[in-house]
Amino acid sequence: MMNSKHFFLILTCIFFVDFNANAQDLLKKLDKEFTNIPLYEIATFKTTRIGLGQSIETRKKGALEISLYNRYWDKPNTQSQSFLADEVNTRYGLAFSFSDNFTIGFGYSNFDKISDGYLKYRIIRQRINSKKMPISITLVQNFSHRKFKNTNANLYSPNSSENRYAFSTQALIARKFSPELSLQVAPTFIHRATPNSSNDSKSQFAIGFGGRQKIGAHTSIVSEYFYVANTIKSMGTFNSFLVGINWEVSDLMLQFHLTNARNFAEDTFISQTTNNFNFKDPNLHFGFNATFILHTKKKKINKD
């Protein structure tokens, strides 16, 4: 007679044999083999600009961004004969990425005759499935130069070219909350070589809020708002606001938006927007940005 203890042991043995022969689910075995390489979030925003201001995104090494930004608006109470819009401000821009984290860009806008440039450096990237780094941070240093002469030139602030520079420094902090929703906060410091009026402060502080919500695989709704802490006293200004749609078509990014900001350089649109956001002329601006990305370096794929 087989006693129960032995019987149990034999049963376990048979079970073990069986277990081995069937081999546990092969895919489950493979899941254990994946090495834990840190993965970073990609495409927190699809474009390097949310709409008005910069986003945390930078292009990868060797990418050349050719951009054309337009703002259209109508003059109030005119017997205008123009097609669609009375006025347009266009910024022609070029940006080149020297590394995956570092981009230099230049642009010129023809209505306000401002040349601007920026250095953009990505310092922290958000990690996927990790609590170690929940946000991305990018630093942007902007500089702009106005061609138009200062209206209030005097002995103490002559109308020399070097007095028409302005600088703005931004720390962009963003988080991709879900594949659809990303939000960004942008503390900004603006410094002008010469203010418009002696009553105005040379330096201004502002904070930008931006976000995108994807509504399709290739389209997203974006919005941006800039709050200025110490506004210019010499003229009435409003905080800039934008709402729009970003759409990507292969190498081309198209952005359509409604905004009250007319200018493109950071120091002007953040603290010198003279229109409020409403649908009256000349306050309503229709914006259309087109950005084309050219890859000057292509990654090699090993072929056998």
Partner 1 sequence: MNKFLFFLIICIINIYDFTAQNQFIARQGQITFFSYASVENIEAQNNQVLSILDVKTKKVAVSMLMRAFVFKKDLMYEHFNESYIESDIYPKATFEGDILNFDKNATRQTKLINGVLNIHGISKETKIKSTIENNNGTYSIYGECKVLVKDFDIKIPPILSSNIAKSITIKFKFQYQPYDE
Which residues of this protein are in contact with partner 1, per CB under 8 A?
Answer: 2-3, 6, 9-10, 13-14, 16-17, 20-23, 26-27, 29-31, 33-34, 39, 42-43, 46, 59-60, 63, 128, 179, 217-218, 248-251, 293, 295, 298-304
Smallest distance, partner 1 to C-beta of residue 21, A: 7
Q: How many residues does the chain have?
A: 304
Smallest gap from residue 43 Cβ to partner 1 (A): 4
Nearer to partner 1, 19 or 189 (CB): 19
Helix (H), strand (E) at residue 220:
strand 219-228
DSSP secondary structure letters along 17-50:
HHHHHH-S-HHHHHHHH------B---SSSSSBS
187 contact partners, CB below 8 Å, separation of at least 6: 170, 171, 173, 205, 206, 207, 208
When the beta carbons of 31 and 162 are compared against partner 1, the nearer one is 31
Cα–Cα distance, 279 to 7 (Å, whole number): 87
Bridge partner residues of 212 (DSSP): 182, 222
* Residue 195 preceded by cis peptide, ω within 30: no
How many of the other CB atoms lie within 10 Å of CB of 285? 24
Nearer to partner 1, 84 or 249 (CB): 249
**Least distance in angstroms from the C-beta of 30 to partner 1:** 4
In the complex, least distance from residue 51 CB atom to partner 1, rounded to whole angstroms:
19
CB 67 within 8 A of CB 133: no
**Cα(5)–Cα(3) distance, integer angstroms:** 6
Is 29 or 113 the residue whose CB approaches partner 1 more closely? 29
Least distance from partner 1 to the Cβ atom of residue 208, Å: 24
Which C-beta is closer to partner 1: that of 131 or that of 298?
A: 298
Question: What is the smallest separation between the CB atom of 101 and partner 1, expressed in angstroms?
Answer: 13
CB of 41 to partner 1, least distance (A): 8
> Which candidate, 226, 193, 199, 194, places its Cα nearest to that of 210?
226
Nearer to partner 1, 162 or 304 (CB): 304
The beta-carbon contacts of 101-105 under 8 Å, at least 24 apart in sequence, are 101/58, 102/58, 103/48, 103/58, 103/59, 105/65
Asked whether 288 and 70 are in contact (CB, 8 A), the reply is: yes
CB of 141 to partner 1, least distance (A): 24
The structure tokens listed for 287 are 């914006």
Using the minimum distance from each CB to partner 1, give the nearer residue, 29 or 202: 29
**Between 284 and 290, whose beta carbon lies closer to partner 1?**
290
Q: Which of 125, 135, 136 is nearest to 40 (CA)?
A: 125
